[in-house]
Structure 1
């Protein structure tokens, strides 16, 4: 086997000779042309992206197979554990912290399932910890395993199924069934199952690309987990008066934390921002006139994740908006009431050094625990005991649900609401289906008027 760092990439080409759509990825290693044909444009784009990332990381490429070092390790893997470790190393540079965390959690669950009945199985908690801390993290983020972790790792290495076993659908089905339930044995939300299944499916597609598997076994499995209701529960949605009562209560929580968070909660209610979007809001993102409506243009988010998954090593990485390109933003008109709140907030607290409106006294980002604690205390202060015991505005995120529900019930057209909320229209109407009041009566009146004309 000879190695080379001289790599060039060509554009993906549609295979015109194939009846079914297929795409050819082409590149050269040390002047030798290499290619692979994949059954979908997205698969081809992902494969080419993996090659490019490997080249950027300075990996050598094998002149015989054309594959970079990381892919070659995955291709030569003999067990699922070895393959999954190599797969995570390939995927790591492409993913945001939350995606890394989700991928790791999926691989942990699948890896614990794809084992033999070998004796001496360690405690499941110890096995999960070993996988999270020593298998699915890059080497430079791993600590030296202690005696217990070392025992767990040696058991996993000995018990992990050979990759060839995954050609049998029974093993893939067993893994899917594990992904369909939570650790407490209760059914997982359908959206959670679908997300984890997508991760597992992508890993197996990668194994097919590398020749580890003949075909993706998940394509032969028809598993329908118990349906879960992903629509917003209308019981959590507060009305405008309740929202204002809560926002008035927030500044009274703690010495300064409540006062610093009040405007952030207001952005979630009056502008429908997600918490991570509000945390990333900067002064330059705001148009705040002295009178009338203003506008905010969120461009960055600060999602919270475990420090083991972030690039910065802190709990927050700055990212682009959810489900949008890195530099893509969206304009959200805001009512005069929120304009006034934000102007007062900036006058009182100024901004962080990077221009963010909402920051801790040390210039950092409020943790989810910190702002949720303030919110729960505000609920107890502003709501009746019966309301506190109910799901009403139980989480800060419910402020966003209340905002979107208000817009829909006010008669704002769904495409406009979707644009302000950062949703597709289909997802918007599906999620908020139970929060739309009075639409049938309005429709009946319009139809009646049309019949009379």
Structure 2
């Protein structure tokens, strides 16, 4: 079985149980690794066309059969011009080339440590599947002497926003028209409560418990209590993998919280500086049409920028 045909079979096997983001990760890792298995360069399409065809069509079982003719021609070249999986049995150097390709950037430099670990894991899982299919007697990746890159566990304080900078950034967000005011609480949640973007965008009113207002004994008016904390009770997140990778065809799909089983929740404290920001947001904007706390000026759900957070005019980006 050729490397390309095998990868398609592996992708199809993993698809049903994999989250949309993980489907993307699988496609990205195996796209990076495939050039090490080209059997020839004769008639080879451009590298950009090869990567696009693999990632967008070939390694996406939902859309593989819908590939436009230009991409389909590229995939046919791959099917006929990648080495058989069995070539890894007698060539340890090929195994190392495969791992090196999977964990490198386009410029040849090693990828970031987290990407390296993730891509190696995907590649190893694929080779385990090749053993299951009896295409290989054993996983050759496990015989390589290979040391993963070290990760820095200490955060460099110079790269972290301090409180003065955070308040200045929130003020700058608020000044952006027309959507800035409705994004202040969004970014404040990520700063003060360390929420992930996909958790913040999926927040509902019943996920939020704010401390009650207290009556000022002199004026009789209700006001924020001093140094009072609230709580967030998170149950689901809504990552944005893109409609190409979801089962429903929507760009943002509700999932269990990251690293938690379905139905498991996460409780997050709301520190005192965040309490009035959230209260003001809820008073000004209420709930969106789908019940979410955060939504665009036209009532639509936020879509993500390449950085994973909302942006662009009207709270939307492509």
- Higher deviation after alignment, 230-239 or 128-137: 230-239
Instruction: Report Cα offsets for 1:299-321 as digits up to 9, x if no partner.
Output: 22121223211223222111111
> Are residue 133 (structure 1) and residue 70 (structure 2) matched?
no
> Are residue 246 (structure 1) and residue 164 (structure 2) matched?
no
State how far apart, in whole Å, the 1-side matches of 2:101 and 2:67 are. 30
Whether the 8 Å CA contact 2:240–2:304 is kept in 1: the answer is yes
State how far apart, in whole Å, the 2-side matches of 1:184 and 1:280 are. 37
State how far apart, in whole Å, the 2-side matches of 1:91 and 1:217 are. 21
- The residue aligned with 1:27 is none
Instruction: Report Cα offsets for 1:170-191 as digits up to 9, x if no partner.
Output: 2221111112211133321111
> Are residue 98 (structure 1) and residue 21 (structure 2) matched?
yes
Segments of 5+ residues of structure 2 without an aligned counterpart are 213-224, 314-318
- The residue aligned with 2:290 is 354
Bigger-Rg structure (1/2): 1
State how far apart, in whole Å, the 1-side matches of 2:265 and 2:180 are. 28
Secondary structure, aligned partner of 2:121: helix
State how far apart, in whole Å, the 1-side matches of 2:231 and 2:257 are. 17
The change in CA–CA distance for 1:271 and 1:228 in structure 2 (over 3 A counts) is closer
- The residue aligned with 1:303 is 239
Of 250, 258, 261, 2:180 maps to 258
Instruction: Report Cα offsets for 1:221-270 as digits up to 9, x if no partner.
Output: 11336656465332122222222222233211112x11010001111122
Segments of 5+ residues of structure 1 without an aligned counterpart are 1-77, 375-453
Of 257, 267, 271, 1:331 maps to 267
Of 176, 201, 219, 1:279 maps to 201
Q: How does 1:11-410 map to 2 (within 5 A)?
A: 78-138=1-61, 142-146=65-69, 148-168=70-90, 169-224=92-147, 227=150, 229=152, 231-255=154-178, 257-290=179-212, 291=225, 292-360=228-296, 361-368=298-305, 371=310
Instruction: Report Cα offsets for 1:162-221 as digits up to 9, x if no partner.
Output: 121121322221111112211133321111111000000001111112211100000111
Instruction: Report Cα offsets for 1:139-167 as digits up to 9, x if no partner.
Output: 55642432x33432232122111121121
- Higher deviation after alignment, 318-327 or 84-93: 318-327
State how far apart, in whole Å, the 1-side matches of 2:41 and 2:303 are. 46
Secondary structure, aligned partner of 1:336: coil
State how far apart, in whole Å, the 2-side matches of 1:225 and 1:214 are. 25
Whether the 8 Å CA contact 1:295–1:332 is kept in 2: the answer is yes
State how far apart, in whole Å, the 1-side matches of 2:236 and 2:82 are. 41
- The residue aligned with 2:218 is none
TM score, norm. by length of structure 2: 0.86
Aligned residues, how many? Answer: 295
- Higher deviation after alignment, 213-222 or 177-186: 177-186
The alignment yields a C-alpha RMSD, in angstroms, of: 2.1
Whether the 8 Å CA contact 1:141–1:308 is kept in 2: the answer is no
State how far apart, in whole Å, the 2-side matches of 1:117 and 1:144 are. 23
State how far apart, in whole Å, the 2-side matches of 1:83 and 1:275 are. 35
Whether the 8 Å CA contact 1:110–1:179 is kept in 2: the answer is yes
Whether the 8 Å CA contact 2:240–2:303 is kept in 1: the answer is no
The change in CA–CA distance for 1:217 and 1:285 in structure 2 (over 3 A counts) is same
